[in-house]
Chains A and B, each alone.
Chain A
């Protein structure tokens, strides 16, 4: 009797124990959290998806393709692209978190994104060039953002976009639906000439006023090999192989001013008086400009190896002191000049507004009002997230957030690169540069109290104050803040500037292949001419070829499109 009882008991125990064991073994497998929807929760979700600052009840993680820069965008030690002041603020306010699935810098980033688009494996959110945005729209990869903009862009953000005249959404609106978020390109004004005063002083030269002065100074630098060794000589004027800011954004090391001196605007479309558009690169003015540039190259005024160098290479040369003069926008101190100054405290870079007209004025072609685009993968559950993030970063953070631990002020002071932001774009008023300059001057003059400044202005104000206290001993960061926001901006606001309005139309997709070929052709001809591999006659051939191989067609189409756009 007893034995039977024991046996049964024993067996039962074994079975129970067996079940338990199996279960425990499987415990390590990850379990996904079940989403429990309560009434309260779904109300929260609804609010979060329809307002700029509504907080998601559960963290929404989105995959991101991320453009980065070398040296971690100058973020403080220990911070990453998924964990820094920006991402933390976004998480705090709206409970969104980025998960970087692709990180790369410069052109490589765009190549990589292009490959992602081609393969079809894209992230939830990506920052892409305009071209890639068009491709994605063609492939139907973009999510409609019209409602998201209406509901989740804050009032201020909408105001900012409207400061560009409403056309800013022109290129990303298809069939009256907004399919991408444009980055705003604030009016940066013409490029300035940045020159090392310490080199000028060494050679006893004056600050250049005209283009001729600039060229003379550069020639002198090269001849006297100022600040350099024989094996690593001075390169003259740094030059980018792209020659001009073709994307319509202000770029460093470009020759815009040289071209504009001849009223040439290569790679830009200009509207003629008769309403037609013409393409700057094939105009006779460009021919003259090319000839001049070729001369500069021959005389060694331009960097002889400019073809091979990447932007980073040029920056490297500047830091090493092998370049003492170049053309760049007002923000050159942020990148790369502050580094140069850090390495060599004697590097005394000053900005100059250059007269390239002969009438004490600076002529330049306006830039595109958009830069890159933020796109959302079609089918993603939270398309509004991009506008929410933008509202947090460019409205809340700048104007409402009081930055209790001074994280962002630190970023501005230390010139943390904008690529530190999860969405590495900028959204600001058209006249943002001017606004900031006038506010800063107002405070420095004592007209406005410092407390009225918004976050960015406040940070720069502190930096400028620091610099002005003791310019000789100032840190590189505070110098760069002052040099960019005050020194450079004062030239822009007080100078005599002539704008040539440029257009940046979208090339019709059916002519894209022809357009690429034309672009390649243009680049080849231009560079060969400058380098002297071919004579200036090649330009004429080029113009003819350009027209034949689709240029005229494109011109015609663009006029049609432009008319259509005006009607919309």
Chain B
């Protein structure tokens, strides 16, 4: 959960959209489509099966009707009698032939319009009577002429486009055949199974196709050879149905094949529609999302950046947001606040600092240096007159001290002059202390002309004397002042070998207002002037001494 909470706004939005919008749509679409496919396929398979069975039954029935009709003739006593009397060749037989036999045979063609010929082929030697009675010898060579007793055979003569029904005539003494030929195309009319898609229907005897009907668009139609392959390999993507035709003693089979893809082809359009709608939805919502993202997230981020900028100390920003929503209000409020802040800072803080600065300048200006220098010069001259050289020295040093301190009111000076300042101070202090401590100064000559703040070293030296040297009982005090350039920094060090202090105390000096006001003041001023990365570092070891480092950047004198 924490991970989610910490995501960017825009990512949150996207995530929420995905979760509540896109994902459900996709799931529903996929589910719907796959369900539909299954349902449709199943339904089509059922339909196909039902229609196929119906067609197969219907065909079987047609065949059965014709078989029954052939039964009627085959088992008809009248026919039997007539045929037996065939060689009588008298008027009675003629009459029976013409009045009974012929009409019966005629009626067969009348009732079944696909029947093209009905004939009885008699093995007995007879005289032909039209097409109805013919000698067996005429067809003895035909492939279908051999029949077992009481047998019925269906035969497909594809060359002549005829379907033949051959059966034996049990009532004929010497045997014979009843031959019924039916027009191939009329009997096996288009077997229409399904309303949509391509499918193929076959009637076959073993491996020989008798009838083929392929419905649907060309290209991808399934031929008989392919049908057999599909049957053998039981390919899953096809539906194969078979129905052996009982009337043909199960010699003939009617089969059909349809590819499953075909069944769901009406779905294709639907699928395209769904895809289109889905695409539209996604596009729309993405668009909306992007708009929203831009509107909210970007603006919020912008606001956030502005705040960061202000946080870093830069109050000079201008937030523009003219929109009237909450974020706009926020932005404008923030802008207002920043402007006020700037004003306040400027007015109060900065002006106060300026005021102080002016006060300081005024104060310093008040101290009329010329008078001071002249007075000191007088004292010096008078001292020299009486030969008091140490008074002269002290006076000179003092003069030097104040000259470098006041520094014509300027805050910055070359290091050389700051060094002069602290030297002067220390000279005087040495005189005070009867030269009970030593001063060592080792400052690199190449930094002399670089800029420094005034009154940096002197307070440190004063501190070193008061808290270090003055407290010494067992050894001679030494104050060391060093200075060098380290990279782009000037590092000045004031070291004493006093009693030192604890490191915590050392660090605490810089933190709060302690009696060691001078040191902190120096630190603060350096930081104010040059930035927080500069200032003082105090290192102290109890019993050994204290070192105060001053860090400030290399700045050339302007």
Given the known interface contacts A13-B273, A310-B129, A313-B130, the answer about A531 and B90 at a Cβ–Cβ threshold of 8 Å is yes
Given the known interface contacts A2-B285, A28-B196, A531-B91, the answer about A107 and B106 at a Cβ–Cβ threshold of 8 Å is yes
Which B-chain residue is minimally distant from A307 (CB atoms)?
B94
Report yes or no: A10 in contact with B277, Cβ–Cβ below 8 A: yes
Report yes or no: B21 in contact with A112, Cβ–Cβ below 8 A: no
User: Is B103's CB within 8 Å of the partner chain A?
Assistant: yes
- Give the residues in chain B near A309, CB-CB below 8 Å: 127-129
Which A-chain residue is minimally distant from B125 (CB atoms)?
A231
B191-205 at interface with A (beta carbon < 8 Å): 195-196
**A305 vs B109: C-alpha distance when bound (angstroms):** 26
- Give the residues in chain A near B288, CB-CB below 8 Å: 2
User: Is B20's CB within 8 Å of the partner chain A?
Assistant: yes
State which of B131, B266, B273 has its C-beta within 8 Å of the C-beta of A312. Answer: B131
User: Is A524's CB within 8 Å of the partner chain B?
Assistant: yes
State which of B109, B113, B270 has its C-beta within 8 Å of the C-beta of A108. Answer: B109
Task: Give 16 A-B pairs besides A10-B281, A20-B269, A308-B89 with Cβ atoms closer than 8 angstroms.
Answer: A2-B285, A6-B21, A6-B285, A9-B281, A10-B277, A13-B274, A28-B195, A108-B109, A111-B102, A112-B106, A112-B109, A112-B110, A304-B89, A313-B128, A524-B95, A531-B90
User: Is A3's CB within 8 Å of the partner chain B?
Assistant: yes
Report yes or no: B129 in contact with A313, Cβ–Cβ below 8 A: yes
Report yes or no: B89 in contact with A307, Cβ–Cβ below 8 A: yes
Main secondary structure of the interface of A (DSSP, over half): helix
User: Is A241's CB within 8 Å of the partner chain B?
Assistant: yes
State which of B107, B113, B196 has its C-beta within 8 Å of the C-beta of A115. Answer: B107
User: Is B341's CB within 8 Å of the partner chain A?
Assistant: no
State which of B94, B103, B196, B269 has its C-beta within 8 Å of the C-beta of A527. Answer: B94
**A227 vs B304: C-alpha distance when bound (angstroms):** 125
Report yes or no: A101 in contact with B20, Cβ–Cβ below 8 A: no
**A106 vs B277: C-alpha distance when bound (angstroms):** 69
Report yes or no: A307 in contact with B91, Cβ–Cβ below 8 A: yes
**What 0/1 pattern do residues 12 to 49 of B give for CB contact below 8 A with A?**
00000100110011001000100000000000000000
- Give the residues in chain B near A305, CB-CB below 8 Å: 89, 127
User: Is A213's CB within 8 Å of the partner chain B?
Assistant: no
State which of B28, B97, B269 has its C-beta within 8 Å of the C-beta of A308. Answer: B97
User: Is A348's CB within 8 Å of the partner chain B?
Assistant: no
Given the known interface contacts A24-B266, A308-B129, A310-B129, the answer about A6 and B106 at a Cβ–Cβ threshold of 8 Å is no
Given the known interface contacts A102-B110, A308-B89, A527-B94, the answer about A13 and B277 at a Cβ–Cβ threshold of 8 Å is yes
- Give the residues in chain A near B106, CB-CB below 8 Å: 104, 107-108, 111-112
**A116 vs B281: C-alpha distance when bound (angstroms):** 67
**A312 vs B130: C-alpha distance when bound (angstroms):** 6
- Give the residues in chain A near B28, CB-CB below 8 Å: 10
Report yes or no: B196 in contact with A25, Cβ–Cβ below 8 A: yes
**A316 vs B138: C-alpha distance when bound (angstroms):** 13
Given the known interface contacts A308-B127, A310-B129, the answer about A241 and B269 at a Cβ–Cβ threshold of 8 Å is no
Which B-chain residue is minimally distant from A527 (CB atoms)?
B91
**A483 vs B91: C-alpha distance when bound (angstroms):** 36
- Give the residues in chain B near A307, CB-CB below 8 Å: 89-91, 93-94
A56 to chain B, nearest CB (A): 27
A303-327 at interface with B (beta carbon < 8 Å): 304-305, 307-310, 312-313, 316
**A16 vs B276: C-alpha distance when bound (angstroms):** 14
Report yes or no: A6 in contact with B127, Cβ–Cβ below 8 A: no
Closest 10 CB pairs of A and B: A310-B130, A307-B94, A28-B195, A111-B106, A108-B106, A112-B110, A305-B127, A528-B91, A13-B277, A527-B91
Number of interface residues of A (CB under 8 A): 42
A198 to chain B, nearest CB (A): 25
A102 to chain B, nearest CB (A): 7
B124 to chain A, nearest CB (A): 14
Which A-chain residue is minimally distant from B289 (CB atoms)?
A2
Report yes or no: A17 in contact with B274, Cβ–Cβ below 8 A: yes
User: Is A103's CB within 8 Å of the partner chain B?
Assistant: yes
User: Is A206's CB within 8 Å of the partner chain B?
Assistant: no
**What 0/1 pattern do residues 99 to 132 of B give for CB contact below 8 A with A?**
0001101110110010000000000000111110
A241 to chain B, nearest CB (A): 7
Which B-chain residue is minimally distant from A526 (CB atoms)?
B91
- Give the residues in chain B near A28, CB-CB below 8 Å: 195-196
Report yes or no: B94 in contact with A308, Cβ–Cβ below 8 A: yes
Report yes or no: A241 in contact with B274, Cβ–Cβ below 8 A: no
User: Is A533's CB within 8 Å of the partner chain B?
Assistant: yes
22 examples of A-B residue contacts, CB within 8 angstroms: A3-B20, A6-B21, A6-B25, A10-B277, A17-B273, A24-B269, A25-B195, A27-B195, A28-B195, A104-B110, A106-B130, A108-B106, A111-B110, A112-B106, A115-B110, A241-B98, A305-B127, A309-B127, A309-B128, A310-B129, A313-B127, A533-B90
Which B-chain residue is minimally distant from A104 (CB atoms)?
B109
A127 to chain B, nearest CB (A): 16
Which B-chain residue is minimally distant from A312 (CB atoms)?
B130
**A141 vs B159: C-alpha distance when bound (angstroms):** 42
**A106 vs B269: C-alpha distance when bound (angstroms):** 58
- Give the residues in chain A near B32, CB-CB below 8 Å: 14
**A115 vs B32: C-alpha distance when bound (angstroms):** 60
A122 to chain B, nearest CB (A): 13
B202-244 at interface with A (beta carbon < 8 Å): none
A104 to chain B, nearest CB (A): 6
**A309 vs B132: C-alpha distance when bound (angstroms):** 11
- Give the residues in chain A near B90, CB-CB below 8 Å: 307, 531, 533
Given the known interface contacts A17-B270, A310-B130, the answer about A524 and B91 at a Cβ–Cβ threshold of 8 Å is yes
- Give the residues in chain B near A70, CB-CB below 8 Å: 131
**A307 vs B106: C-alpha distance when bound (angstroms):** 19
Which A-chain residue is minimally distant from B132 (CB atoms)?
A310
Given the known interface contacts A2-B285, A305-B127, A312-B131, the answer about A533 and B91 at a Cβ–Cβ threshold of 8 Å is yes
- Give the residues in chain A near B129, CB-CB below 8 Å: 308-310, 313
A23 to chain B, nearest CB (A): 11
B359-409 at interface with A (beta carbon < 8 Å): none
- Give the residues in chain B near A101, CB-CB below 8 Å: 113
**A101 vs B110: C-alpha distance when bound (angstroms):** 10
- Give the residues in chain B near A24, CB-CB below 8 Å: 196, 266, 269
A96-155 at interface with B (beta carbon < 8 Å): 101-104, 106-108, 111-112, 115-116
**A214 vs B89: C-alpha distance when bound (angstroms):** 25
- Give the residues in chain A near B277, CB-CB below 8 Å: 9-10, 13
Most buried by B among A6, A107, A115: A6
State which of A2, A9, A21, A531 has its C-beta within 8 Å of the C-beta of B266. Answer: A21
B73 to chain A, nearest CB (A): 15
Which A-chain residue is minimally distant from B269 (CB atoms)?
A20
B233 to chain A, nearest CB (A): 31
Report yes or no: B113 in contact with A25, Cβ–Cβ below 8 A: no
**A3 vs B109: C-alpha distance when bound (angstroms):** 71
Which B-chain residue is minimally distant from A18 (CB atoms)?
B270
Report yes or no: A2 in contact with B109, Cβ–Cβ below 8 A: no
B488 to chain A, nearest CB (A): 58
**A533 vs B274: C-alpha distance when bound (angstroms):** 91
**What 0/1 pattern do residues 440 to 463 of B give for CB contact below 8 A with A?**
000000000000000000000000
B74-93 at interface with A (beta carbon < 8 Å): 89-91, 93
Report yes or no: A25 in contact with B266, Cβ–Cβ below 8 A: yes
B20 to chain A, nearest CB (A): 6
B42 to chain A, nearest CB (A): 16
B419 to chain A, nearest CB (A): 75
B253-301 at interface with A (beta carbon < 8 Å): 266, 269-270, 273-274, 277, 281, 285, 288
- Give the residues in chain B near A308, CB-CB below 8 Å: 89, 93-94, 97, 127-129
**A241 vs B129: C-alpha distance when bound (angstroms):** 12
Report yes or no: A10 in contact with B25, Cβ–Cβ below 8 A: yes
State which of B24, B93, B102, B266 has its C-beta within 8 Å of the C-beta of A3. Answer: B24
Given the known interface contacts A104-B110, A308-B89, the answer about A21 and B270 at a Cβ–Cβ threshold of 8 Å is yes
- Give the residues in chain A near B102, CB-CB below 8 Å: 107-108, 111
**A16 vs B17: C-alpha distance when bound (angstroms):** 27
**What 0/1 pattern do residues 498 to 522 of A give for CB contact below 8 A with B?**
0000000000000000000000000
